[in-house]
Amino acid sequence: MQTIRKEEVIHYKYIIISTFLKRNVLIHVFLPKDYPGIKNMPLLLINDGQNMEEVGLEKILHGLFQTKEINPICCVAIEAGADRKREYGVAGVPDYLGFGNKAGFYVSFIMQELLPFLQETYPEITFTQKSFAGFSLGGLSALDIVWHYPEVFKIAGVFSGSLWWRSMDAKDIKYNDDQHRIMHNQIRKGKHYPGTKFFFQCGNMDETQDRNNNGIIDSIDDTQDLIRDLESKGYDKNKDIFYYEMPDGRHDMASWGKAFPVFLKWGFS
């Protein structure tokens, strides 16, 4: 364990030897400086923990803790491994190229190794609410886990999520959005889970692809379509879903870092 203290935030680093992923997983735990005196706080897991310096998570938390714009929260950022494209995705449903084929093992790591490790390491904290956030493919992974474990996770934070993730190449003449976008199908097959909430961020400069030639880039189209699928399951667009579109947002950590405080204040204030 390594400890770093920066004013309002304490940053711990741990290594978990994962049986499921067959690798060492480095995690970063960010806590408010006075957490020993705080017995109850929410837990937020974040994919792609190796990019937290670029996102500026420590600075973001420091500012929000200092101004008390959010309640005390424990953030745990999980570093991805060399098999990121195989560990992230939709569990049990690889994409048409075979990526995401280890997503089930990643889910097992989260549920059976990471969460028990955190509870054992911080027995003095009662995690009152668990949430999961991620960027791009990590956002798809976070959404998939929240969707399939609503009894555990209550909020999904999806930043420029890879919601295009599909079971057939979009260039194939048989490709159809309604049939081959994997996460959309997962939503349609599921049901309404009261209390679950969703945050989606997109940037107008995320990409240039527009496969249906409607003048809207695919990342926005895919996100808005998925929001409609959630609404069809009974989720209220005004109460359960927050959509944040950034006019100058790009598909990069700098843009997601600008959006992250919006997510934290929406979900944890």
Query: In CATH, what number is assigned to the domain containing residue 245?
Result: 3.40.50.1820
What is the band of 211 on the pLDDT scale with cuts at 50, 70, 90? confident
pLDDT digit string (tens) for 70-97? Answer: 999 999 999 999 999 999 999 999 999 9
The residue range of the domain holding 245 is 2-268
Contact 204, 243 (CB under 8 A): no
What percent of the chain has pLDDT above 90?
Answer: 87
Give the count of domains, the chain. 1
Q: What is the pLDDT of residues 133-163, one digit of tens each?
A: 999 999 999 999 999 999 999 999 999 999 9
Angle at 79 between CA 145 and CA 66, to 5 degrees: 90
The length of the chain is 269
